[in-house]
Amino acid sequence: MTQFPAFADWTKIEERVKLLKERRFFMRKRKLWILAVLSGLFAWQTLAISLCEYSQPITSVTTSSLQVSFRYLDDEFRDDRGNVLSLTLAGSFLRYYDSADFGYGVNANGSVSNMNGSWSLAGAGSVDFRFYAPGTDVFAFGRVNSQWAGLTPTVAVVMGAGYGRLRDVTPLAKAVRISDKLLTEKFLVKALPDSTLMAIAQEIGKRAEYATLDELVVKVVELIEASGVAAGALGADAVLYIRQIITAVGDTRLCGFSVSGGVGYKILDPAGAQDFVLFGAAEYAMPWSVDSQLRVRVDGTSVPNFTSYTVQGVATLMYKLTPTTTLNASFTAARTLPTGGTPVDSQSLDATLSLTLFEGWAVNVTLGMRNATGFEEPRLELTVSAGITF
């Protein structure tokens, strides 16, 4: 005879069945949500144009920066044992030119500082020339490297070969910005198609061929109005937006990579040693969007038996996290092994997070880190500033 469980047992079974159904419902709902998100990301990736699709016969980029800082502290002691008087001047310069068969580059960064009457100098620089094999990205190069850790630099001349290019995709970034701005201001019924964006980028890339800026702007307006997505004839406001975006500076976007290696000779060394050197370098640049850019460069020189070498890596990032939040960061790491000495390491990080909380309200969070051989611990600086504009 079949034995049925007590009423209390049936209640537990019903509760477990109900719980299992709820779990299955939420699991099914979560799976659908994940699929929806992935589908949205996939659709965005397939519809959005990649800045790296753009190419032009000649890439010509020049950027520079200069920072000056001054600090004065008068301590509470009459003998001024803790007084601080410091001045630092830091700057960088980049010139990059690349064509189908020839290219050259100039790269320099350094700083000069005075702390309580004691001067210090540090920096690095290079000049290189590249000659490409016809129709390829394979090149032969000649290069002069120099580094300063004082008044006497280390200088080496290197020759070798490499592969790859960095391409300036700023014209396409400007075309996308034009589309986004005109769409926001209701001058477009939808974003410009990829074919129109590429056509506008090609014209912006040929800016030097136009006699005046007005002629270029007129051509861009014609391309937009012929795209079929303009809300009507573009008026003075739309033309002004287009002109401002075309002429904007400081928004260079690079894409690509290169690797190179060679053999050279160290013609100047503070330690007095002159020897053959090995050289290697790699560089990578990627813009995730018109408002983002990553650049990484690593290079090094060494004597053949690796008893003396210098390796340095630099990474810079500008990333727009949200329409109101931007991250700018740079990281540098280096290791130097002098002849007959011990390795000297150094690292530095500078990062700034800029947030616009409300219209007119802005907050900047800046983090600085310095570490080097001889430090007991890394030196950290955190600065938070806020402001309001009426």
Q: What is the mean pLDDT of residues 225-235?
A: 90
Nearest CA among 324, 315, 299 for reference residue 350: 315
Which range among 13-17, 31-35, 206-210 shows the weakest confidence by mean pLDDT? 31-35
Confidence at residue 41, expressed as pLDDT on a 0 to 100 scale: 35
- Please write the tens of the pLDDT for every residue from 81-121: 778 888 888 888 889 899 889 999 998 888 888 877 777 77
- 183-to-43, 90, 374 alpha-carbon distances in Å: 20, 40, 55
pLDDT digits (tens, 9 = 90+) for 244-264: 999 988 778 999 999 999 999
pLDDT at 188: 94
CA distances from 361 to 6, 305, 328, 351, 367 (A): 67, 57, 19, 20, 20
- 142 with 159: CB under 8 angstroms? yes
Higher pLDDT, 91 or 212: 212
Arithmetic mean of pLDDT over the chain: 82
Asked if 202 and 220 touch (Cβ cutoff 8 Å), the reply is no
CA atoms within 13 A on the CB side of 12: 5
Full-model pTM: 0.74
Instruction: With cut-offs at 50, 70 and 90, classify the pLDDT of residue 78.
Output: confident
Query: What pLDDT band is residue 32 in, cutting at 50, 70 and 90?
Result: very low
pLDDT (0 to 100) of residue 208: 83
pLDDT for residue 306: 86
Helix, strand or coil for residue 199?
A: helix
pLDDT at residue 19 in the model: 53
